[in-house]
Amino acid sequence: MNRRDFLLRGSGAVAGAFSLSPRLSLAAQARPPADYTIRIAPIRLEIAPGRTIKTTAFNGRIPGDLIRVREGSRVVIDVVNETGVPDIVHWHGLKIPAEQDGAEEEGSPLIAPHGGRQRYTWEARPAGFRWYHSHTAAGHNLNRATYSGEFGFLMIDPAANPAPYDQEIFLALHEWNGYIEGSGDGYQEVRYNHATINDRMLGFGEPVRVREGQRVLFRILNASATLAHTLALASHRFLIAALDGNPVPSPSSVETITMGPAERVDAIVEMKQPGVWILGEANEEMRRAGMGIVVEYAGRSGAPRWVDPASTDFRYERFGAATISVPGDDEERIPLVFKPKFEGYGDFDHWTINGLSWPKSAQVRLRQGARYRLLFDNQSNDMHPVHLHRHSFELRNLNGKNTAGILKDVVLLPAHSRSEVVFTADNPGQTLFHCHQQDHMDSGFMMLFEYA
């Protein structure tokens, strides 16, 4: 089997395809075959006619193959790294052991370049919309980690699926051809030339085809390395059913959705405005860069229409529980202050948690079974989508407003804001906490929670 065959076979057949190789079939006798095999390799992708980007991807496509498994099932995934640099794949939002989680800082092994292999085995939980992505550092290499095309959807279906929809559409937001721009005062930021939803710029891919009267479930992932996005679907509203894959206590209808890097939203749209519309970034510049997709009703044609949303206000607490119980006294409080430390090195400089940058950041000791309240204090001009590995947390306070019942694994902290989340230490092992903005993470915004 040559490499081209491998590519053409795609994911479903990959595990079977290995039996064609005598050497590998021997290995297969010793170990069960993988449910999925992911090959990390460079690709060229035409995101619009004549516009080709060079990046790295999973199994030659962007996003990578949809991994879809039943809650509680045991899943075996082989990853082969055919790039020239070490890599690692993180299973984002799963409650799995640290060694399988895919973060080097927690003890998961890096995958060697030039054909290194790693087998990941885990039990699929909790149910919901998860994802997987490269979890290396990138530094100034804007073709690594989350800057690259190394991301895919991971869907853990619950045992009982009420399926209140007629069609399910997965969408991933991403930008391409990043470059680093300095502002002159030593502060640097990453900017991009192009953007896509899934693998095409707005206007150049297949539209989302719908029928009048359908309820369409959009599962949207912000796979951006560094940018939050606000989305709208012209002439339609989104019913927010789940955040980060977890059903919300109060599903509620909104005109726009704002998502930080790594966040997911399940949104149901009732298709009752026949036409050809744009689902895209509310920001015109971002839509021009390509961040959008056409939604086309059956029997309708013509140029897709965009309508500016009246308001772009999106707040988590809107989807929280109607009644909020008094915070428990059993929670141990952990204050975490986030601040930049610009010393003019010009290398994204440093981000600090309680005054310290990774790898010097303090380690938090957790007791198994105990409840913790993380007190986030963002003392900076930037937003931070902070992520806790291997655990979900409940949003309890957002800039002074109490809330309850919203379970997430990433929370977007606006500039100069405070938020509080609560979680139970119920998954022993090293647990990474970091900002999901790649340049922040790479410059120190990271710490470990350890179980005593």
Name which of 270 and 347 has its Cβ closer to Cu ion: 347
For residue 366, report the phi and psi dihedrals to the nearest 5 degrees: -110, 145
Chain centroid offset of residue 378 CA: 21
Report residue 124 as tokens.
């699929």
Per DSSP, the three-state class of 351 is strand
The 360-389 contact track toward Cu ion, x by CB under 5 A, reads ------------------------x-----
Which one, 135 or 384, has the nearer CB to Cu ion? 384
Our finding on whether 352 is near Cu ion (CB under 5 A) is no
Output the smallest distance, CB 386 to Cu ion, in A: 7
Out of 435, 446, 447, 448, which residue is the one contacting Cu ion (CB under 5 A)? Answer: 435
Task: Give exposure, 3-42, as e/b (b: 16+ Cβ within 10 Å).
Answer: eeebeebebeebbebbeeeeeeeeeeeeeebbbbbbbbbe
Q: Which is nearer to Cu ion, 350 or 384 (CB)?
A: 384
Residue 357 CB coordination number (10 Å): 17
Q: How far is the CB of 225 from Cu ion (least distance, A)?
A: 11
Task: State in angstroms the smallest separation of the CB of 338 from Cu ion.
Answer: 7
- Using the minimum distance from each CB to Cu ion, give the nearer residue, 59 or 437: 437
Give the interface size with Cu ion as a residue count (CB under 5 A). 4
Contacts of 3 (CB under 8 A, 6+ apart): none
C-beta of 373 vs 440, nearer to Cu ion:
440
CB of 277 to Cu ion, least distance (A): 33
Complex with Cu ion: residue 389 or 440, whichever CB lies closer: 440
Residues 203, 208, 211, 217, CA torsion sign: negative
- Considering only 256, 437, 438, 443, the residue that binds Cu ion (CB under 5 A) is 437
Neighbour count for residue 311 (Cβ, 10 Å): 9
In angstroms, what is the minimal distance from the CB of 357 to Cu ion? 12
Min dist CB 437 to Cu ion, Å, is 4
8 Å CB contact between 278 and 193: no
The answer to whether residue 234 forms part of the interface with Cu ion (CB under 5 A) is no
Q: Does 440 bind Cu ion (CB under 5 A)?
A: yes
- Cβ neighbours for 29, distance < 8 A, ≥ 6 positions apart: none
Percentage helix, strand, coil for the chain under 3-state DSSP, each rounded to 5: 10, 45, 40
Q: How far is the CB of 400 from Cu ion (least distance, A)?
A: 21
Binding site for Cu ion (CB under 5 A): 384, 435, 437, 440
